[in-house]
Chain A
Amino acid sequence: MRIECPYCGPRGAEEFVYTQDAERARPTDGGASPTEDWAAYVYLRDNLPGARREYWYHQGGCRAWLKVTRDVSTHEILKVELP
């Protein structure tokens, strides 16, 4: 897997640290059922095959956080954006 960092150019996956799904939204504290919303946010995942957006950290490079669109079924990197 190679990720094209907007600052450093294409770099091997070993320079990056994967953190998490970039689509998860933090619930608002005063929501309708705050405990349930927070439990779902912390513990439940869609976890489906196909393309999804996720956060990768360029630890061995410029140390920028990147929003990477990657197909988890093929490992193909489809898009790299700054968050």
Chain B
Amino acid sequence: MRYSALTVLTQALKGHTGWMPAWRKASPAPAYDVIIIGGGGTGLATAYYLAKNFAVGRVAVLEKSWVGSGNIGRNTTIVRSNYLLPENVAFYELSLKLWEGLERDLNYNAMVSQRGVFNIYHSDAQRDAYARRGNAMRLHGVDAALLDREQLRREIPFLDYETARFPVLGALVQRRGGTVRHDAVAWGYARAADRLGVDIIENCEVTGFMFENGAVCGVETTRGTMKAGKVALCVAGASSVLAAKAGLRLPIETHVMQAFVTEGLKPLIDNVITFGAGHFYISQSDKGGLVFGGDIDGYNSYAQRGNLPVVEDVCEGGMALMPMIGRLRLLRSWGGVMDMSMDGSPIIDATPVGRLFLNAGWCYGGFKAVPGAGFCCAHLLATGAPHEAAAGYRLGRFAEGRVIDEKGVGAQPNLH
């Protein structure tokens, strides 16, 4: 069923009795040409672009739980391409361009909202660093503008401008950045991939691999074994667990990150705002809740929940930037387990194990990357060569000293 204003209208007249499930409940087939492990954003987007752009035969996505149960349904929904290093600017800009055409491409309302991302600066040194980042973006053809205090005050009047501790001096703004409804991204890609013949198999956990002459030739799952021509790992925080089953150790640690939503309010914050003197970023969902988050908890975790010190730290950041939110009540907080890489940048590459590919290391920023990660991983799987926008994201870069470290903090994932 194609979605359109006309379908909504005719369904309304029929009492909404004619809507069909958005994707089939596929059962495992004995063999696939490509098996993608993980039904999060990265895996579903990889399957979609593989089926849409290349003729690779039968494709399946295996998800241990339900589609949308991982980080794709847990993030703070911010998309942007305001990076400094050339490898990252090119890749995230490709991804942002794909977001801009996504809803028409998928025939799905993902609520892409280019409401602008404002990175606030609080010192002269930080202004210089942001000016440099904005210049790097503009050199790559990406939009960026540096606002001074008065320009910012006209757009966002409610910040605490005059505080002596963290005075607000201005902001770097990327107006094409914004938010996207996270669940809708998973559902939209799942539906579009399914329509192109991809089998999306939920409640199917991969428990091991089958090998033939040292190369992977299939997977063992809780729903039986399946042969595969190629296998791609798109499992975010579970990357090391699955890699270990193929005898690999990865440059990745699994850490927990928390997010929060308040009770619903009338429209208040109509863009994305990030605090430059601490860990706090915020936007308002269409339901009215303020959605915000901060830093990762800072220790390895597979628990999908964090601890109170970070809750306190995030709320303090919010209070320092916009004291007006102090009397709001938190509705929910939750955590997701993320694949923190050793340089803070992702990996889209073949692995030393034959026919096994890796799409991981997305850290706390892999939501904005979903279209690009899928697009480039599909290119790699189908052609055997990396896509030019992801050519730097190689697994071998660590040993070669070609790390892509935006923050410059070294192999210490809890600091990225």
Contacts and interface: CB of A to CB of B under 8 A. Distances in A.
Contact of B307 (A13, A39, A54, A72): A13
- Please tell me the size bucket of the interface on B: 20 to 34
A18 B299 contact: yes
Nearest to B413: A45
B399 A43 contact: yes
A48 B248 CA distance: 12
Interface in B297-313: 298-303, 307-309, 312
Given A45-B240, A46-B240, A75-B307, A18 B414 contact: yes
Contact of B398 (A1, A39, A54, A74): A39
- Please tell me the size bucket of the interface on A: 20 to 34
A21 to B, nearest CB: 8
A74 B303 contact: yes
A14 interface: yes
A42 interface: yes
B309 A13 contact: yes
A47 interface: yes
Interface string A32-56: 0001100110111111110010100
Contacts of A74: 303
Main secondary structure of the interface of A (DSSP, over half): mixed
A12 interface: yes
A73 interface: yes
Interface string B355-377: 00000000000000000000000
Contact of B302 (A12, A17, A20, A73): A73
Contacts of A35: 399
B250 interface: yes
6 contacts: A39-B399, A42-B342, A43-B342, A43-B411, A47-B254, A73-B302
